[in-house]
């Protein structure tokens, strides 16, 4: 989409990341265009017993329990292990391929700090603006405008 005349345009290609604790959208602003180029998400698949054997019905209708019930990891661990790792890998690859020179990050306060801390040093040094807000469902141009108000 085109960045309207009344909004600032990036001086150099800029990645704009909008995240919460489960999802992230990566936009690229270049010249007068702002396009979503990637998305990172994870589901809470830890609630199922993919190993099999927990709470199965026996041949006589009784419930047999094999193994241990699935353990639900905490949200912080999921954020770091799933979202941050994937986001870091994607952004670092984009940066190394010279897709952007700086980036912006919008996320709720807790996620913002965690995401920033988990990024590679190259990325940390190129983070130019942060917005502590959950904007994951907001229109991209409105998010862009919040960074430059």
Helices and strands, counts by H and E, the chain:
5, 7
Write the pLDDT tens digit of every residue in 43-62: 654 444 444 444 445 555 55
What distance in Å separates the CA atoms of residue 16 and residue 96, rounded to the nearest whole number? 16
Binned at pLDDT 50, 70 and 90, residue 82 comes out as confident
CA distances from 144 to 27, 62, 65, 67, 125 (A): 10, 58, 52, 50, 20
Tell me if residue 131 falls in helix, strand or coil: strand
Write down the pTM of the prediction: 0.78
Q: Which CATH number fits domain 14-147: 3.30.70.1560, 3.40.190.10, 3.30.420.60, 3.20.20.70?
A: 3.30.420.60
Is 40 in contact with 87 (CB distance < 8 Å)? Answer: yes
Indicate the length of the chain as a whole number. Answer: 149
């Amino acid at each position: 989409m085109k960045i309207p005349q009344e909004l600032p345009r990036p001086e150099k290609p800029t990645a704009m990341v909008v995240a919460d604790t489960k999802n992230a959208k990566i936009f690229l602003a270049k010249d007068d265009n702002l396009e979503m180029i990637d998305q990172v998400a994870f589901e809470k698949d830890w609630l199922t017993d993919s190993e099999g054997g927990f709470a199965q019905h026996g041949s006589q209708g009784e419930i047999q329990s094999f193994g241990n019930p699935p353990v639900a990891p905490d949200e912080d661990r999921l954020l770091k292990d799933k979202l941050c790792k994937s986001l870091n890998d994607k952004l670092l690859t984009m940066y190394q391929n010279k897709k952007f020179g700086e980036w912006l990050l919008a996320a709720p306060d807790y996620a913002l700090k965690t995401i920033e801390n988990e990024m590679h040093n190259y990325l940390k040094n190129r983070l130019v603006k942060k917005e502590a807000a959950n904007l994951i469902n907001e229109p991209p141009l409105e998010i862009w405008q919040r960074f430059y108000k």
